[in-house]
Every structure is written in structure tokens, then in C-alpha cells.
Amino acid sequence: MIGRRLPEERPRVAPVGYKIATLLLSAGGDRAGFAGVSIGRGQTYGVEDDARCAYGRRHASPAPRCDCGFYCLGSEAEARDLLCVTEYRFAALLTVDVLGSYIRYQRGLRYSRQRVTAVRVGACACGNPAELLVDAGAGMTGRRALTGCCLSCAAGRIGLSFGAYARLAGVPVTADASPYVLGERDVVPRLVAEVTLLQARLDRCQEQLGRLLGSDP
């Protein structure tokens, strides 16, 4: 079996994968990009890009005797699991089309070219779904990292709307659902109850006002 080549795949549609990445904004605020979180952590890439060897070797990625190249997982749930890891908390979930050559592994692919097709921003640190992007307090030369934040936690801070980031990056950006599903369910009925109470008070005020005005000759 030594020397036997792996079977070659020639898919008609690009394989779809999931990965996590740091969202970046250039120092001048005019360019958006992504950075990997493990191998190639210091390398940035655009919405459609080619992999470069993370060790500066002169070969095309993914080289069989190197571990460079883009990586993705085949399962969205497994990619989302990575977002729980302490150092990846500020990362976003990307959906990618795998283009060019690739090497298939049990849980995903290592490959030469990718197109990011969707960005989902994780929940705010408070648990609410993110509503804009703010400085994550990290970065690299010429680029600062951004992370999702809700409007109430962002009060007084300058941030970037998802739409603005999407225009710079060239890919749709949306909020990922909050993992606190039960918490959200708790909040909504409470808000509805508060609004109902306010409405009832307003109705009473209007009634009293109407009576006062009506009794005034």
C-alpha cells in the first residue's frame, strides 16, 4: 500500500465549510478582513483569497508535507463549539466555499483557496445578540480586531454597523443567535407585560383627561 495515492475528487459545486476567524478593520477604517485563529494566526485574508504557507516556505498550499493552507470544518456545530474556547470568544463564525485543491480529513478540509460567503457575529458578552461591531481590544500591525456588541452595552462607544462592515468586507454579516435561548424567552414576555401595563396606565390617563375636559364648561 506504500505510495498509493489518495482518491481524487472533482466536485461540480464547491464544498461548503465552516470556520472561525477574527474580524479585522484596517487602521484607516477603510478595509475589512479576517485572520485565522490557530495556524496562520498572524496572516490576514480577504473575502476571496489564496492560502500562503504559514512558515514562509516556497510551495503551494496545501502541501502534503506541511500543515499550511486554509482549514475548515464540515460541521457548523463543531465550528460553533470552538467559539466557546476562552481565546476564541471574540471570533466570528464564517461560512466558506472551498475552491482550488484540497485535502480531506475526517472532520474537514485543508485547502488552497476560499470564498467567505457569510459572517455570523457571536452574542455580546452580556448574552444579548450582537447589534454592531466594536473594538475587541486586540489586533496586529495595521489592523484592529472587532467583536460583536449589543446596543445597550455599546452605549457611548463608537462602533461599526454590520452593514458598514459587510460593505467593506464584501460579504453579508448577520448576528448569530444568542446561546441563552431560555434567557431570551424570559425577557420577551416580561417586556410584553410591561408594555401592557404602560398601555393600561395611558388609557386611564386619557380617560381622566377626557372626563376633566368634558366636565369643563
Task: For residue 164, give Cα distances in angstroms to 32, 55, 61, 124, 200.
Answer: 10, 33, 32, 18, 40
Asked if 69 contacts 51 with a C-beta cutoff of 8 angstroms, the reply is yes
Nearer to Zn ion, 51 or 73 (CB): 51
Q: Please tell me whether residue 22 binds Zn ion under the rule CB under 5 A.
A: no
Among positions 83, 136, 153, 160, the unique one binding Zn ion when judged by CB under 5 A: 153
Residue span binding Zn ion (CB under 5 A) among the ranges 15-23, 31-39, 92-100, 124-132: 124-132
Phi, psi of 13, rounded to the nearest 5 degrees? -115, 145
Q: Please tell me whether residue 173 binds Zn ion under the rule CB under 5 A.
A: no
Helix/strand/coil percentages in the chain, nearest 5:
25, 35, 40
Q: Please tell me whether residue 124 binds Zn ion under the rule CB under 5 A.
A: yes
Q: Please tell me whether residue 128 binds Zn ion under the rule CB under 5 A.
A: yes
Burial tier of 11 (Cβ tally within 10 Å: 0-12, 13-18, 19+): exposed
Binding mask 41-70 for Zn ion (x = CB under 5 A): ------------x---x-----x--x-x--
Q: How many residues bind Zn ion (CB under 5 A)?
A: 10
Nearer to Zn ion, 157 or 190 (CB): 157
- CA 52 to chain centroid, in Å, comes to 23
Instruction: Tell me which residues touch Zn ion (CB under 5 A).
Output: 53, 57, 63, 66, 68, 124, 126, 128, 150, 153
